[in-house]
C-alpha cells in the first residue's frame, strides 16, 4: 500500500511539474543569444573591446607607481593637535595597466597600521574610481573623480562612514599631486563641526625605487 502511494505521488508531481520543466528546457538562453549577436556584429565587438582595455587615461596611474617612504600628518578637528606617523608604501600597476594597487605599512597613533587600495579609470563612467580598506576601520572607502593634467593632481570625493564621528555618510575629498618623479603628496579634506572644510590628512611620499 505504501509503495502504491509513493508511485501515485511521483505520478502527481510529474504531472504538475512536467510542463514547467519542459518550458524551462525550451526557454532560450538570453545571455547566449545576446553573446552570439554581439559576436556577429564587428562594430559591437570593437566597442566592447575599447571599453575593456586600458586607455590613455590609465597612463596617469604610472606616475604614482613605485616604492616609497612616507611621512603623514593627521588632524581630527580643525586647529587640533597634529598626529604624525611614518611608513613605507608599494604602489604597483596591475592587470595590464588597468589598476594601481596601493599597499601601506606603518604606524598610526602608536599602533601598527596596514592598508590596501585600488585606483583605476572606468572607461564607461569616464572617471577615476578608488577603494580603500585598512586595519583601523571596518568600512570600505570609495571615492571617484577626475585628473587635472595642468596641476598633475588626481581629485576625488565621496560619502563614506566615519569612525571618528560615527557618521554613516560623511563627505570628504582628496587630492593626490605628483610633485616630480620622486615625490608626491596625498591630502584629504573633511567637513568640520562648523560646516567648513578643513585639511584632515597629508601624506608626503618620497621614492626609494
Asked if 193 contacts 201 with a C-beta cutoff of 8 angstroms, the reply is: no
E strand segments, 12-81: 66-75
What is the chain's length? 209
- The three-class DSSP label of residue 191 is strand
Domain ranges of the chain: 2-52, 56-207
If pLDDT is split at 50, 70 and 90, which confidence band does 18 have?
very low
What cell numbers appear for 181 in the block?
618623479
Of 50 and 55, more confident: 55
d(CA 55, CA 87): 32
Asked if 204 contacts 177 with a C-beta cutoff of 8 angstroms, the reply is: no
Helix (H) or strand (E) holding 179: strand 170-180
d(CA 203, CA 87): 10
Average pLDDT, the chain: 85
Residue 152 scores a pLDDT above 70: yes
pTM of the full predicted structure?
0.79
If pLDDT is split at 50, 70 and 90, which confidence band does 163 have?
confident
Q: What are the pLDDT digits (tens) for 61-107?
A: 999 999 999 999 999 889 889 999 999 999 999 999 999 999 999 99
Task: Identify the pLDDT of residue 53.
Answer: 95
- What CATH number is given for 56-207 in this structure? 2.40.128.20
d(CA 135, CA 104): 10
Task: Identify the pLDDT of residue 149.
Answer: 97
Q: What are the pLDDT digits (tens) for 115-150?
A: 999 999 999 999 999 999 999 999 999 999 999 999
If pLDDT is split at 50, 70 and 90, which confidence band does 36 have?
low
Cell 577626475 belongs to: 146
Q: Which residues contact 51 (CB under 8 A, 6 or more apart)?
A: 123, 124
Cell 575593456 belongs to: 52
Amino acid at each position: 500500500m505504501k509503495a502504491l502511494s509513493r508511485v501515485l505521488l511521483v505520478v502527481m508531481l510529474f504531472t504538475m511539474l512536467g510542463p514547467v520543466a519542459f518550458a524551462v528546457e525550451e526557454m532560450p538562453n538570453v545571455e547566449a543569444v545576446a553573446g552570439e549577436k554581439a559576436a556577429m556584429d564587428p562594430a559591437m565587438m570593437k566597442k566592447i573591446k575599447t571599453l575593456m582595455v586600458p586607455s590613455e587615461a590609465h597612463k596617469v596611474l604610472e606616475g604614482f607607481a613605485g616604492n616609497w617612504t612616507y611621512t603623514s600628518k593627521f588632524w581630527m578637528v580643525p586647529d587640533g593637535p597634529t598626529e604624525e606617523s611614518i611608513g613605507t608604501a608599494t604602489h604597483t600597476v596591475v592587470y595590464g595597466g588597468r589598476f594601481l594597487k596601493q599597499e601601506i605599512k606603518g604606524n598610526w597613533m602608536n599602533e601598527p597600521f596596514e592598508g590596501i587600495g585600488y585606483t583605476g579609470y572606468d572607461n564607461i563612467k569616464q572617471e577615476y574610481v578608488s577603494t580603500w580598506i585598512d586595519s583601523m576601520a571596518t568600512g570600505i572607502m570609495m571615492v571617484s573623480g577626475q585628473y587635472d593634467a595642468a596641476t598633475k593632481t588626481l581629485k576625488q570625493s565621496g560619502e563614506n562612514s566615519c569612525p571618528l564621528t560615527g557618521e554613516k555618510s560623511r563627505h570628504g575629498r582628496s587630492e593626490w599631486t605628483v610633485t616630480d618623479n620622486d615625490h608626491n603628496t596625498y591630502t584629504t579634506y573633511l567637513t568640520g563641526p562648523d560646516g567648513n572644510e578643513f585639511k584632515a590628512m597629508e601624506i608626503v611620499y618620497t621614492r626609494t625605487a
